[in-house]
C-alpha cells in the first residue's frame, strides 16, 4: 500500500479499530478515539495499515519514519530491478561477409550487455522470391556468435517483407 493512500490520526473515520501497539503486539479492538489518545500520549501517530479489514487494522508508530522506510524500500527494489531492452539489427540478404561480421559483433555486444536482440533481414523487390537466402544469413550469424552466449527466443520466421529471429542471453545459472 502506498504511503499516500494511508489514513492517519483524525483522517480515520471508523468507530473502532484493531490496534497494534508500538512494540508490534496486538492490543485488540479499541475505539478510535481511545486509540488516538494512546497515540498522542506516546507522541506517535495512529496509522491505518489495512483499511479493507473489518475492523480496519491500525498501528501506533512514527508516521514520518515509517514513510521514509517505505520509500527507502521502494528505491532499493527499483535499483535492484534489471532493465532488459530490445535492440534490433537490420540487414539485407545480399550483405557482404565483412559487413555481416561487423553487425554480428554488434549483436554479440548487445547480448553481453544483457539485452534481447531482434535480428531482421529486409527483402526488397525480387529478393522476396528467395527467402531461403535470408535463412542462410541468419544461420551464418548464429555460427559467428560466441557459443553458449545466446538462446533463441523465436526461430527465424517471415513477417511480411521481413524475416526475423529473437535472441537473448543465456542465464548465468545454467
**Residues 92-132: tens digit of each pLDDT:** 999 999 999 999 999 999 998 888 999 999 999 998 898 99
Is 107 in the same domain as 36?
Answer: no
Is 115 in the same domain as 72?
Answer: no
Whether the Cβ atoms of residue 165 and residue 157 lie closer than 8 Å to each other: yes
For the chain, the C-alpha Rg in angstroms (whole number) is 30
Is 96 in the same domain as 157?
Answer: yes
**Residues 65-87: tens digit of each pLDDT:** 988 988 999 888 888 777 778 99
CATH code where residue 30 lies: 3.10.20.80
Residue 174 lies in a domain: no
Number of domains, the chain: 2
CATH code where residue 125 lies: 3.30.110.10
Q: Where are the beta strands (DSSP E) in the chain?
A: 16-20, 26-31, 45-50, 57-61, 86-91, 116-122, 151-159, 162-168
Is 49 in the same domain as 95?
Answer: no
Residue 173 lies in a domain: no
The domain boundary, picked from 45, 77, 109, lies at 77
**Residues 153-170: tens digit of each pLDDT:** 999 999 999 999 999 988
142/173: higher pLDDT: 142
Domain of 101, in residue numbers:
86-168
Amino acid at each position: 500500500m502506498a504511503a499516500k493512500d494511508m489514513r492517519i490520526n483524525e483522517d480515520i473515520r471508523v468507530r473502532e479499530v484493531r490496534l497494534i501497539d508500538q512494540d508490534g503486539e496486538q492490543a485488540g479492538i479499541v475505539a478510535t478515539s481511545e486509540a488516538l489518545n494512546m497515540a498522542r500520549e506516546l507522541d506517535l501517530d495512529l496509522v491505518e495499515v489495512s483499511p479493507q479489514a473489518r475492523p480496519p487494522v491500525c498501528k501506533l508508530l512514527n508516521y514520518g519514519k515509517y514513510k521514509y522506510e517505505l520509500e527507502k524500500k521502494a528505491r532499493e527494489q527499483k535499483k535492484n530491478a534489471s532493465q532488459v531492452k530490445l535492440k534490433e539489427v537490420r540487414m539485407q540478404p545480399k550483405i557482404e561477409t565483412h559487413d555481416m561480421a561487423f553487425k554480428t559483433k554488434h549483436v554479440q555486444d548487445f547480448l553481453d550487455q544483457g539485452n534481447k536482440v531482434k535480428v531482421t533481414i529486409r527483402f526488397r523487390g525480387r529478393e522476396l522470391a528467395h527467402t531461403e537466402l535470408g535463412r542462410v544469413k541468419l544461420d551464418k550469424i548464429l555460427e559467428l556468435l560466441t557459443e553458449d552466449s545466446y538462446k533463441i527466443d523465436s526461430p527465424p520466421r517471415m513477417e511480411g517483407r521481413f524475416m526475423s529471429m529473437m535472441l537473448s542471453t543465456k542465464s548465468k545459472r545454467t
